[in-house]
């Protein structure tokens, strides 16, 4: 591949590494990498992969930037709040390296779109923030035989591994060789509940980028069939050897048709809450009298909602700032349905059964997609 | 017989320490039973048991020289 002088200059300090060289640079330029989740892990991995000159990077995330993301999701700034993460991450990466191609998917990875999307890439990076998508990505990578660079964090600790790739002819382990079945809902706290040190996903995401570059160029010894954990509080590293288990394959859908029938949310115990209503029920209710609809997002969050009457009380003040109202039905909504469910629980605690309290499942983002 | 166990994630939070020592356990099944009694919060978590850095899927005999680790899954990103 031809290198013009500015492209040589950009990558000179890594081309100087004899293990990497011009051949390594060419391999990165020809590579297609998909990053699932543009959160804390994804931001760190994306930054280094774009800087290193990965030829094509795909980013899939359905979420939008919020203020509480900024302590760890370092590709975003204040002006990105309310905008799609994948779009805004791509903008930041294009400023960093205009020579590479970035493909943006502002949508959730589902059983319907996963196989077609993942098939178009050489390697997948798992930067997701929930078990449902982690198992979905893992199973799709097994079906498609794609290397998966896994990362996960909680509080002060992180895990990184390379799944579905062995490099030495040994059977390749995947996530289900580590944890065969998803935990039940509520068994393991997520970042929103347990908190996370901002720099931690930065460290782990950078490790994911490093493993990706090693796999693509063939340098060094990868984390294939190994998992490492890192604890930022005491700097302890722990390494676990992974072995592909005979039974694991039985847990994974046998083919594309079986995969598309999988209910990963259900598997992870994500059942609809009795306080939640779907879009149809919401649309039927929202034209009725004696109804109050409340947006519980922060005041500056987008998209705006001109489609129906509502008032605005951010979640933090939902109990204290709740207005005097005659309404017997109260519906709360937020971006994706998590904060509004919290608000609905708080209001149910306040009003008991005196009023009908409901939360719009999937939030205003998925409502807008259907309207 | 004392076996040292290192704990990760929520398991360390439940125990209030990143390592614990348990007595008189001959294998990993007995160890899990003892740990879940000592720390009932752990019984609700589907953690994996590793002995000398390898996952123990079936009951594995333990001696004082083994390093045991209990790892919960992490979901955050």
pTM for this model (two decimals):
0.80
Residue A274's pLDDT is what?
Answer: 80
Residues of A in contact with B73 (CB under 8 A): 131, 152, 178-179, 183, 188
Whether B2 and chain A come into contact, CB under 8 Å, resolves to: no
Interface contact B69, partner A, CB < 8 A: yes
pLDDT for the residue A4: 65
Phi-psi category of A37—alpha, beta or left, where left has phi over 0 and alpha has psi -120 to 50? left
DSSP reduced 3-state for A35: strand
Q: Does A130 touch chain B (CB under 8 A)?
A: yes
Q: Are B73 and B46 in contact (CB under 8 A)?
A: yes
The mean pLDDT value for B53-69 works out to 94
Distance from CA of A108 to the nearest CA of B (A): 15
What ipTM was assigned to the predicted interfaces of this complex?
A: 0.94
- CA A98 to chain centroid, in Å, comes to 24
- From chain B, pick out residues whose CB is under 8 angstroms from the CB of A178: 48, 55, 73
B73 touching A (Cβ < 8 Å): yes
Spatial CA neighbour of A89 closest among A53, A124, A61: A61
Contact state of A188 with B73 under an 8 Å Cβ cutoff: yes
pLDDT for the residue numbered A5 = 74
Which of A156, A157, A198, A242 is most worth mutating to test chain B (most B CB atoms within 10 A of its CB)? A157
* Whole-number pLDDT of residue A354: 83
3-state secondary structure of A55: coil
Quickly tell me which residue has 């799609």 as its tokens.
A84
Cα separation, A21 vs B65, whole angstroms: 45
Q: How far apart, in whole angstroms, are the C-alpha atoms of residue B9 and residue A201?
A: 14
Cβ of B46 and A183 within 8 Å? yes
The string of pLDDT tens digits covering residues A181-209 is 888 766 676 656 678 999 999 999 999 99
Can you tell me which residue has the tokens 């779109």?
A113
Q: Name the minimum distance, in Å, from the CA of A307 to any CA of chain B.
A: 33
Mean per-residue pLDDT pooled into runs of 10, chain A (371 residues)? 73 97 98 98 98 98 94 97 96 97 96 97 97 96 98 96 93 96 74 83 98 97 97 95 92 95 82 80 88 93 92 92 90 90 88 88 86 85
Q: What phi-psi label fits residue A289: left (phi over 0), alpha (psi between -120 and 50 degrees) or beta?
A: beta
A206-224 tens-digit pLDDT: 999 999 999 999 999 999 9
User: What is the per-residue pLDDT for A192?
Assistant: 63
């Amino acid at each position: 591949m031809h290198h013009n002088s500015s492209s040589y200059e950009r990558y000179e300090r890594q081309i100087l590494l004899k293990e990497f060289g011009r051949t390594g640079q060419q391999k990165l330029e020809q590579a297609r990498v998909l990053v699932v989740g543009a959160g804390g892990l994804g931001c760190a991995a994306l930054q280094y992969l774009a800087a290193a000159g990965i030829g094509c990077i795909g980013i899939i995330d359905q979420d939008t930037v919020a203020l509480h993301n900024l302590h760890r999701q370092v590709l975003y700034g204040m002006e990105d709040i309310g905008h799609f993460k994948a779009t805004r991450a791509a903008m930041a990466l294009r400023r960093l390296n205009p020579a590479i191609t970035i493909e943006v998917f502002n949508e959730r990875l589902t059983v319907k779109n996963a196989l077609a999307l993942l098939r178009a890439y050489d390697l997948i990076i798992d930067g997701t923030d929930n078990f449902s998508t982690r198992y979905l990505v893992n199973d799709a990578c097994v079906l498609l035989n794609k290397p998966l660079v896994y990362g996960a964090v909680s509080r002060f600790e992180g895990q990184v591994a390379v799944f579905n790739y062995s490099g030495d002819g040994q059977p390749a382990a995947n996530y289900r060789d580590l944890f065969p079945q998803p935990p039940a809902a509520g068994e393991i706290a997520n970042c929103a509940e347990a908190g996370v040190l901002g720099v931690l996903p930065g460290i782990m995401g950078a490790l994911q980028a490093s493993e990706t570059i090693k796999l693509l160029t063939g340098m060094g010894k990868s984390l294939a069939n190994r998992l490492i954990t890192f604890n930022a509080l005491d700097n302890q590293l722990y390494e676990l050897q992974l072995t592909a288990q005979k039974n694991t394959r039985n847990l994974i859908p046998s083919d594309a048709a079986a995969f598309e029938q999988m209910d990963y949310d259900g598997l992870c115990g994500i059942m609809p809450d009795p306080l939640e209503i779907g879009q149809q029920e919401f649309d039927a209710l929202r034209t009725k009298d004696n109804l109050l609809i409340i947006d519980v997002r922060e005041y500056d969050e987008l998209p705006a909602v001109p489609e129906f009457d509502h008032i605005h009380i951010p979640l933090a003040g939902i109990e204290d700032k709740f207005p005097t109202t005659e309404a017997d039905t109260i519906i709360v909504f937020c971006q994706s349905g998590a904060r509004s469910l919290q608000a609905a629980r708080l209001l149910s605690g306040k009003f008991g059964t005196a009023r009908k309290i409901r939360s719009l499942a999937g939030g205003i983002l998925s409502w807008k997609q259907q309207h | 017989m004392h076996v040292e166990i290192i704990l990760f994630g929520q398991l360390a939070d439940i125990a209030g320490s990143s390592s614990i020592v348990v007595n008189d356990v001959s294998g990993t099944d007995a160890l899990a039973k003892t740990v879940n009694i000592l720390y009932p919060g752990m019984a609700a978590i589907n953690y994996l048991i590793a002995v000398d850095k390898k996952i123990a899927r079936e009951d594995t005999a333990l001696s004082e020289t083994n390093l045991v680790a209990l790892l919960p899954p992490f979901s955050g990103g």
